[in-house]
């Protein structure tokens, strides 16, 4: 049973460029969330997708956008990259339900470096 | 505004002893708390959770205690093992048992080192 997979694992971009990160959720999961983890910090919630719609959003500018596909996979897009966007981007999947405890399954992350 | 705080960036304990990791929160609307463990080059993995209607939850060597009046929770690991060495994140959510998952507020993490 494949867990959450993310690609690419590492990438380097320059300021002003755009980046797309990809995520496939754990089998059976239909909700995908994205988190940004800066060095020495805990993950910060970016947004959540369910049924191909953005359902919740954290305190991130509009430069951060996303998409969920019918197969539940998801993309995170960041435009006009800034040096401060350098971070580990984590994708997490889950499934809604009455017994959902908020337990998320995380991928290994995509390490973005902006020069 | 740091709603979930882990004030100890690191902790070092001897193998076999107890490890106690602490976490404080400010938002009284949080009603579900979780601990995640993260090894280098891996994503965080769920460890244990507790609902605000409880004050203790145990799972093997791991116990989480919740003090709602103090807005404080702690993770106890007994006995500590070298394989427990990792970064531990405390997280909170405010949607209770009907949470669809996804919006967790994380602390900054505590790096635990268990010495043989």
Chain position carrying tokens 């244990």: B48
pLDDT, chain B, mean: 91
Question: What distance in Å separates the CA atoms of residue A64 and residue A106, rounded to the nearest whole number?
Answer: 19
Beta carbons of B93 and A106 less than 8 Å apart: no
CA distance A93 to chain B (A): 8
Tell me, what's the pLDDT at B39? 94
Tokens of A32: 């995908």
The backbone torsions φ and ψ at residue B20, rounded to the nearest 5 degrees and listed phi first, read: -125, 115
By Cβ distance, the residue of A58, A98, A106 closest to B43 is: A106
pLDDT tens, residue by residue, A49-100: 988 999 888 999 999 999 999 999 999 999 999 999 999 999 999 876 544 5
Beta carbons of B44 and A43 less than 8 Å apart: yes
Q: Which is nearest to A23 in space by CA: A87, A72, A73, A67? A: A73
Task: Indicate the range of A50-59, B28-37, B93-102 predicted with least confidence.
Answer: B93-102
Beta carbons of B32 and A102 less than 8 Å apart: yes
Return the CA Rg of chain B. 14
By Cβ distance, the residue of A42, A45, A106 closest to B103 is: A45
Is-contact A97 A31, C-beta < 8 A?
Answer: no
Beta carbons of A109 and B34 less than 8 Å apart: no
Task: Indicate the range of A70-74, A100-104, B41-45, B66-70 predicted with least confidence.
Answer: A100-104
pLDDT tens, residue by residue, A86-115: 999 999 998 765 445 668 899 999 999 999
Is-contact B63 B78, C-beta < 8 A?
Answer: yes
Task: Using the predicted structure, report yes or no on whether residue B47 has a pLDDT greater than 60.
Answer: yes
Task: Using the predicted structure, report yes or no on whether residue B41 has a pLDDT greater than 60.
Answer: yes
Task: Using the predicted structure, report yes or no on whether residue B96 has a pLDDT greater than 70.
Answer: no
Q: Which is nearest to A95 in space by CA: A20, A27, A16, A47? A: A27
Tell me which chain A residues have a C-beta less than 8 angstroms from the C-beta of B52: none
* Mean pLDDT value of segment B22-48: 92
Task: Using the predicted structure, report yes or no on whether residue B27 has a pLDDT greater than 80.
Answer: yes
By Cβ distance, the residue of A40, A48, A99 closest to B102 is: A48
Beta carbons of B101 and A94 less than 8 Å apart: yes
Question: What distance in Å separates the CA atoms of residue A96 and residue A93, rounded to the nearest whole number?
Answer: 10
3-class SS of residue B19: strand
Task: Using the predicted structure, report yes or no on whether residue B100 has a pLDDT greater than 90.
Answer: no
Q: Which is nearest to A76 in space by CA: A113, A110, A40, A31? A: A110
Tell me, what's the pLDDT at B101? 54
Tell me, what's the pLDDT at B97? 42
- Neighbouring CB atoms inside 10 A of A57's CB total 14
For residue A74, count CB atoms less than 10 angstroms from its CB and return exposed for 0-12, middle for 13-18, buried for 19 or more. buried
């Amino acid at each position: 049973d494949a867990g959450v997979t993310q690609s690419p694992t590492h990438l380097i971009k320059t300021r002003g460029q755009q980046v797309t990160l990809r995520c496939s959720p754990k089998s059976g999961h239909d909700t995908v969330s994205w988190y940004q983890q800066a060095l020495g910090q805990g993950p910060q919630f970016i947004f959540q997708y369910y049924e191909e719609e953005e359902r919740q959003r954290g305190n991130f500018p509009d430069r951060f956008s996303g998409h969920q596909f019918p197969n539940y996979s998801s993309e995170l897009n960041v435009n006009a990259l800034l040096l401060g966007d350098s971070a580990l981007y984590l994708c997490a999947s889950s499934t809604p339900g009455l017994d959902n405890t908020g337990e998320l399954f995380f991928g290994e992350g995509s390490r973005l470096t902006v020069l | 505004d740091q709603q979930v705080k882990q004030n100890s960036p690191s902790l070092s304990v001897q193998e076999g002893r107890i490890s106690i990791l602490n976490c404080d929160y400010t938002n009284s609307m949080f009603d579900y708390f979780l601990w995640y463990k993260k090894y280098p080059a891996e994503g965080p993995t769920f460890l244990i959770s507790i609902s605000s209607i409880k004050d203790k939850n145990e799972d093997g060597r791991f116990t989480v205690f919740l003090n709602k009046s103090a807005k404080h929770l702690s993770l106890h690991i007994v006995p500590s093992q070298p394989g427990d060495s990792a970064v531990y994140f405390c997280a909170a959510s405010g949607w209770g048992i009907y949470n669809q998952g996804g919006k967790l507020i994380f602390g900054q993490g505590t790096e635990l080192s268990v010495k043989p």
